[in-house]
Amino acid sequence: MKDSLFHHHRKAITSAMYTNHLFHIFVTIVTATTFLFIIALLYTILGKGLPKLSIDFLFKLPDELEAGGGIGPFLFNSFYVLILSLLLSLPIGIGAGIFLAEYAPNNRFTEFVRTCIEGLASVPSIVFGLFGYVLFVEYVGIGLTIIGAAITLALLNLPVLARVTEEAIQAVPKDIREASLALGATKSQTVLKVVLPAALNGILTGISLVACRAFGESAIIILAGGTSTSGFMWDFNLLSQGGTLPVHLWYVQSEALVPDAKEIAEKSAAILVLIVLIISFTVRLPIWIQTLVAKLKTTPRQS
Amino acid sequence: MALPASEVRAQHEQQKKKQWSMKYMKNKLFRYVCLFSALFLGIALFSIVIFISQTGFLVFKDVSWKEFFFSATWEPYEGKYGAAVFIAGTLYLTFLTLLISTPIALAVAIFISEIAPNWLKNVMRPMLDLLVGIPSIVYGYLGLTVLLPFIREKTGALVGDGFLAAALVLTLMILPTITRISDDAICAVPNYLREAGYALGSTKLQVISRIVLPAARSGILTAIILGMTRAIGETMAVVMVIGNTAQFGWDLITPTSVLTSNIVMQIINVQFHSTWNYALYMMAFLLLFISLVLIVIIRKLRPKGE
């Protein structure tokens, strides 16, 4: 009796369901472990550094030999270089995205441009850094500067911005465009006044991604901006050295002579993570609120 | 004195024409600005390739390509520029990283896209996006202060630097990249395929392993290759945990070096017009070349019309 077709099938089905259960458990455990690990890491960085933070540390000048120095100029440079690079890359990156989404004909030329953009996105940051070094230190001859770092960093931002803009614009429904065109607007007016505002959410998310990446970039800064700063606060001179906070973290961790290097590194790492968290939250918050409001508005109608 | 009606109309027409032509000028101009922006990215890529290769290929004036690619002696002070250690190191490290990260990333992607309830998805996806944004230097710092002592304790190695530490740090860094893109690829598989599977009596595992994953294959492969480009090009996190010694480190816990870490450690102290510097640029060109080849492969993988 045990060898009947019925028994055979039941056995196969039971074993299939059994493996299915195992698979469920396995995947869940792997995911849970991964996320616990991630949370533990964030907690380690923030927990070590944040309690020791003081306002003083954020704005004070660094000290080469004695304990108690701050990170003022490095933090300032980080934001300065970031903002400069965004100013340089936003118009071009968004322009390229608009071209790909709105104007690009479906031919070999467009294929080629797309390949170039993806290629640029995959260029290792160290190669960007070397490029910046050849360009600004060897050919232009201005040495390691803030402006050199910002321009090189802008190149890193460009392909991501172009891709994100393209995706955001493609997600805008066609009828809005047609309505605008039907009212007699030209294509450029339609794109600038109708499509771009509608795609703003997606573009903003993209910008926050880019900003986080540019803020944390260190290989480019070391090669094009240097590892130190001009040595005083609020130095807007574009030609002074452009060491940023991530570079300083590397420097402190590997070469610094100060006795409290470990503490400075802990605090710097915590600040880096904190700022990245803040950048991504401030950009996403309005979007979350929007979706929440939209949800609240639609729920009563459904019920 | 009022102008005759015909003249007023003519003036009006003229003004309107002017407005129209301005409008169309602007329209055309905007198009060209956008086109130029897109072209600018191409120009940037080409100038990078040209600048780096120009400097890099100068190395072959002093060093034969056989020595550069196949000799493992890197002693710049004695004029020996064999980059084999670094090239093999980069390939080995990338392979190790993918070996560890791909299964984990796939499992997490499957969990998020197929199993997790919606609220959990909405928590997990932003968290992974956040991980991408954390500076690589922080990962390196974590590896240095948390992972290395742990490895030293477990294996009894002297310093703990080496491929194992670097691969683990890189795994953490490329995990979100691979996970998110595979997740997108799995979500893009149309639902009717799943439903057909269930209707035939398949279990979830059977649907996932025999229908969903094969359907999302090219997307998942793209994810893995993108993770690979990130692993190959990553510099600062690797520099802090690899040990930076020009020797093979096959046993995973011997200090060694890869292309990126060697470039960044030595470039600062080197004269620009020296064979040493040219050799470093050649190594950068290799990195660039590998990344570009990978991107071309990704584009070939993609179905036409996307």
d(CA A275, CA A258): 25
Same domain, B52 and B13: yes
Contact check, Cβ <8 Å, B203/A20: yes
Flag whether pLDDT at B291 surpasses 70.
yes
| Residue at B91 is within a domain | yes
| Residue at B306 is within a domain | no
| Residue at B276 is within a domain | yes
pLDDT of residue B305: 45
Q: Which residues of B176-202 are buried (b: 16+ CB within 10 A; e: fewer)?
A: bbbbbbbbbbbbebeeeebeebeeeeb
- Given a contact cutoff of 8 angstroms between Cβ atoms, the answer to whether A127 and B259 are in contact is no
Q: Which residues on B lie below 8 Å from A38 (Cβ)?
A: 127, 131
Question: What integer is the mean pLDDT of A115-127?
Answer: 89
Flag whether pLDDT at B156 surpasses 70.
yes
Same domain, B237 and B250: yes
3-state secondary structure of A122: helix
Q: pLDDT tens across A272-301, in order?
A: 888 988 888 887 777 778 878 887 877 655
Cα separations in angstroms, B132 against A255, A256, A300, B174? 27, 28, 38, 8
- Which distant-in-sequence residues (6+ apart) come within 8 Å of A117 by Cβ? A96, A100, A159, A162, A163, B38, B41, B42
In terms of residue numbers, what domain contains B47? Answer: 5-61
Q: Could you please report the per-residue DSSP string of B226-264?
A: HHHHHHHH--HHHHHHHB--SS--TTSSS-B--HHHHHH
What mean pLDDT value characterizes chain B?
86
pLDDT band at A95; cut points 50, 70, 90: very high
pLDDT band at B148; cut points 50, 70, 90: confident
What mean pLDDT value characterizes chain A?
84
pLDDT of residue B306: 46
Work out the minimum CA distance from A158 to partner chain B, whole angstroms.
Answer: 7
- Which distant-in-sequence residues (6+ apart) come within 8 Å of A185 by Cβ? A193, A194
CA B44 to chain centre: 17
Tell me the backbone φ, ψ of residue B80, rounded to 5 degrees: -110, 115
Contact check, Cβ <8 Å, A124/B287: yes
pLDDT of residue A302: 46
| Higher-confidence position of B157 and B193 | B193
| Residue at B48 is within a domain | yes
| Higher-confidence position of A9 and B15 | B15
Flag whether pLDDT at B179 surpasses 90.
yes
Contact check, Cβ <8 Å, B47/A186: no
Mutation target to probe the B interface, by most B beta carbons within 10 A, among A10, A31, A228, A263 is: A31
Count of positions (residues) in chain B:
306
| Structural domain total, chain B | 2
Same domain, B212 and B260: yes
Same domain, B150 and B234: yes
What single letter denotes the amino acid at residue A69?
Answer: G
Contact check, Cβ <8 Å, B26/A130: no
Flag whether pLDDT at B110 surpasses 90.
yes
Q: pLDDT tens across A19-58, in order?
A: 888 999 999 999 999 999 889 988 888 888 888 877 777 7
| Residue at B217 is within a domain | yes
Q: pLDDT tens across A56-82, in order?
A: 777 777 776 677 777 888 888 889 999
Name the E strands within A171-239: none
Helices B275-301 & B5-57 angle (0-180, nearest 10): 120
Same domain, B14 and B90: no
Question: What integer is the mean pLDDT of B17-46?
Answer: 87
Tokens found for residue A154? 């802008």
Same domain, B15 and B145: no
Contact check, Cβ <8 Å, B292/A223: no
pLDDT of residue B199: 93
Question: What integer is the mean pLDDT of A76-103?
Answer: 91
pLDDT of residue B108: 93
In this structure, what DSSP letter does residue B111 have? Answer: I
- From B33, B233, B299, residue closest to A126, measured CB to CB: B233
Question: What integer is the mean pLDDT of A126-154?
Answer: 87
Strand partners, B81: B74
Size of interface A-B (CB pairs under 8 A): 258
d(CA A201, CA B129): 16
| Residue at B203 is within a domain | yes
Cα separations in angstroms, A205 against A125, A175, A283, B234, B235? 22, 24, 6, 24, 26
Q: Which residues of A250-260 are buried (b: 16+ CB within 10 A; e: fewer)?
A: bbbbeebebeb
Q: Could you please report the per-residue DSSP string of B120-189?
A: HHHHHHHHHHHHHHS-HHHHHHHIIIIIHHHHHHHH--SS--SHHHHHHHHHHHHHHHHHHHHHHHHHTS
Give the number of other Cβ atoms within 10 Å of residue A262's Cβ.
Answer: 14
pLDDT of residue B182: 93
Q: In angstroms, what is the C-alpha Rg of chain B?
A: 27
Q: pLDDT tens across A201-251, in order?
A: 888 888 888 898 899 888 888 888 877 777 777 777 777 787 888 888 888
pLDDT of residue B112: 92
Respond yes or no on whether ipTM tops 0.90.
no
d(CA A144, CA A162): 28
Burial (CB count within 10 angstroms: exposed 0-12, middle 13-18, buried 19+), residue B224:
buried
Q: Which residues on A lie below 8 Å from B42 (Cβ)?
A: 112-113, 116-117
Same domain, B120 and B227: yes
- Given a contact cutoff of 8 angstroms between Cβ atoms, the answer to whether A272 and B125 are in contact is no
Same domain, B118 and B32: no
| Residue at B202 is within a domain | yes
Flag whether pLDDT at B201 surpasses 60.
yes
Same domain, B179 and B38: no
pLDDT of residue B155: 81
Q: pLDDT tens across B58-99, in order?
A: 888 888 888 888 887 888 887 788 888 888 888 999 999 999
Same domain, B18 and B145: no
Question: What integer is the mean pLDDT of B222-230?
Answer: 89
Q: Is the dihedral of CA A225, A230, A233, A234 positive or negative?
A: negative
- From B112, B264, B295, residue closest to A122, measured CB to CB: B295
CATH number for B247: 1.10.3720.10
Same domain, B26 and B70: no
Same domain, B201 and B152: yes
| Residue at B228 is within a domain | yes
